[in-house]
Structure 1
């Protein structure tokens, strides 16, 4: 039995702490399995013995108990006498209907395309190429199109993230003074929907690829926004809709390297009035020795797409090379910040 003094010594032992970090992948996979089995949803009505959970989840009883006790040890579940388990605040976020649910994100992290690509991080570091393309023999978007079951998990995870991020963005920035907001690469439209609901006099244009845009139409219709929002389809490397007072892009630029990101921004610049505002909503990588989450997400962009998260200085360089001046960076309570730009005066 390990006493408290031994635990305290282990907590201050650099070697022991490094082992904890090395083994972090084990917790990721354990969370993926618990999410895939739906364990947390089976605990919403109260604690249950692990054997009862095993029957509900179609799992091997002894093995499920070992999974649950490991996750209880890191605070996801709580184990009581008789091998009974209940939800903690962390575990509640693994339920499907929780505010800020991470159920689908945990399911996505362990899917073969994601998990195996991270196993080839070394290739990405050595070459600068996306590890997903090396792993799957096609780039990540094509792979998901070829594996619809994984695409469905990915889409669900991104939708859950978008809903939470939309609240954070609309609380951090006043969109009410824009008559028309164009959402470039706006996906299913959750951010633009939140903006229009918060600003009853505003109009919007959602712009994305045809197969995505058709989904957005249903999102706006269900919110009663059809009359105030137009859905347009196309390729943002070629052209984007004109006549906007604001052009927003959430989690678009980080999917692309400098050359492609510049082309997307220039597409916007060509149609933007001199008085329009650019709002790029992205993670901003923090200063040295800080922001582990942002820097881990940056590695994920390398693994998935050969792309990157950027520092504030890198955003300034990117905007300047695309015909914009950087006005400022506004943080939100989510990991995202709002990078504000305006068209630079013609030379």
Structure 2
């Protein structure tokens, strides 16, 4: 069952419920195969499990049993006894392909990511982050101390150019002279926006270590002459003078108090009649299934105060920071949420 196509009316029997109960086991199988790089080994065609096992230092029969199960749900296909090839669903488990989710599959299976979920009961009972409880630090402190985990997290978090395209197409950025991307990672989204709008200039703002990684990307995107890179913390100060400030999946990491603090800094830094653009998930009302509702629990478990929000909750954030919410544009599971600066004096 695919979550994005989930229809509650089709899930009615105990057998349907059992599929959900066993879902974590499917995830573990995908994690193992992604970690081993099996999809990369199959990029040139079908291979026998003996060859795959030799290349990955694993047990051939056990590897076969895992691949046989995954083939049964469309991830890989058994072409002849114990030989497997990629399927369209397995393609995205390769490392360097458009839309790759390999890093996400690995990240979700690493102990520091799945163990907090095993402690969801703690979060439900206390309202506090299970990650903070287990590791005595927040997720970002942990990533700062663990370079391998940090690199994997960045691979998962930062969008490729292909993933950036829907956002570039959905919003009219042509009216913006200077766009400041707050917490923009290594700049994929900003670079895509600048390439599509040749008269625009941009500022990429993130932690200094992240900005160092972004320099080559902006050069590759041929926008380095229009893209200023600045390192810093948005809890201290952000670049001034932008016509619009863009924050992608930043606000959902924080509780209302800290989120409003970030947005107020944007208010203070931007020009008069400036615009605020958030890319976030918006939780719909009622019983409708939405991936945002699951991500909301993930934020509870992983981040101290993190949460997804409803349209009304975003409106409250905007008003508290000096903005009027003017537009919400749905894009797949995300939305571009637009606000305009108002005079609060």
Q: Distance between the aligned counterparts of 1:115 and 1:30, measured in 2?
A: 14
What is the match of residue 103 of structure 1?
Answer: 102
SS across alignment from 1:249: strand
Deviation at 1:12, TM superposition (A): 6.8
User: Where does 1:200-219 land on structure 2 (aligned, <5 Å)?
Assistant: 200-219=198-217
What is the match of residue 265 of structure 1?
Answer: 263
CA contact (8 A) 2:50 2:60 kept: yes
C-alpha change, 1:62 and 1:198, in structure 2 (3 Å) is same
Q: Distance between the aligned counterparts of 2:58 and 2:270, measured in 1?
A: 56
Relative to structure 2, which stretch is displaced further, 122-131 or 49-58?
Answer: 49-58
SS across alignment from 2:174: coil
Q: Distance between the aligned counterparts of 1:140 and 1:246, measured in 2?
A: 29
Query: Is 1:44 paired with 2:48?
Result: no
CA contact (8 A) 1:239 1:268 kept: no
What is the match of residue 233 of structure 2?
Answer: 235
User: Where does 1:96-245 land on structure 2 (aligned, <5 Å)?
Assistant: 96-159=95-158, 161=159, 163-245=161-243
Q: 1:19-63 deviations in whole A, cap 9, x for unaligned?
A: 110111111111111001011111111122222221122211011
Q: 1:201-235 deviations in whole A, cap 9, x for unaligned?
A: 11001112222222222221222222211112222
TM-score (norm 1): 0.92
Deviation at 1:290, TM superposition (A): 2.1
Deviation at 1:301, TM superposition (A): 0.9
Structure 2 runs not aligned, ≥5 long: 1-9
RMSD: 1.6
What is the match of residue 3 of structure 1?
Answer: none
Q: Distance between the aligned counterparts of 1:69 and 1:243, measured in 2?
A: 57
Q: 2:282 is matched with which residue: 266, 284, 304? A: 284
Q: Distance between the aligned counterparts of 2:335 and 2:286, measured in 1?
A: 18
Deviation at 1:335, TM superposition (A): 2.0
Q: 1:315-339 deviations in whole A, cap 9, x for unaligned?
A: 111111111000010012x322100
Q: 1:58-95 deviations in whole A, cap 9, x for unaligned?
A: 21101101110111111111123312211111111111
Q: Distance between the aligned counterparts of 1:13 and 1:204, measured in 2?
A: 51
Q: Distance between the aligned counterparts of 1:182 and 1:32, measured in 2?
A: 36
Relative to structure 2, which stretch is displaced further, 143-152 or 257-266?
Answer: 143-152
Q: Distance between the aligned counterparts of 1:310 and 1:105, measured in 2?
A: 23
Structure 1 runs not aligned, ≥5 long: 1-10
Relative to structure 2, which stretch is displaced further, 266-275 or 188-197?
Answer: 266-275
Q: 1:109-156 deviations in whole A, cap 9, x for unaligned?
A: 111110111111111111111111112222111112222222221111
Deviation at 1:198, TM superposition (A): 0.7
What is the match of residue 6 of structure 2?
Answer: none
Query: Is 1:53 paired with 2:48?
Result: no
SS across alignment from 2:247: strand
Q: Distance between the aligned counterparts of 2:94 and 2:110, measured in 1?
A: 19
C-alpha change, 1:162 and 1:252, in structure 2 (3 Å) is farther
Deviation at 1:346, TM superposition (A): 2.7
CA contact (8 A) 1:94 1:103 kept: yes
C-alpha change, 1:13 and 1:335, in structure 2 (3 Å) is closer
C-alpha change, 1:25 and 1:163, in structure 2 (3 Å) is farther
What is the match of residue 33 of structure 2?
Answer: 34
SS across alignment from 2:288: coil
CA contact (8 A) 1:285 1:291 kept: no
Q: Distance between the aligned counterparts of 2:162 and 2:122, measured in 1?
A: 33
CA contact (8 A) 1:190 1:219 kept: yes
SS across alignment from 2:309: coil
Q: 1:277-332 deviations in whole A, cap 9, x for unaligned?
A: 11011111123222342111111111110311111111111111111000010012
Q: Distance between the aligned counterparts of 1:297 and 1:12, measured in 2?
A: 21
TM-score (norm 2): 0.93
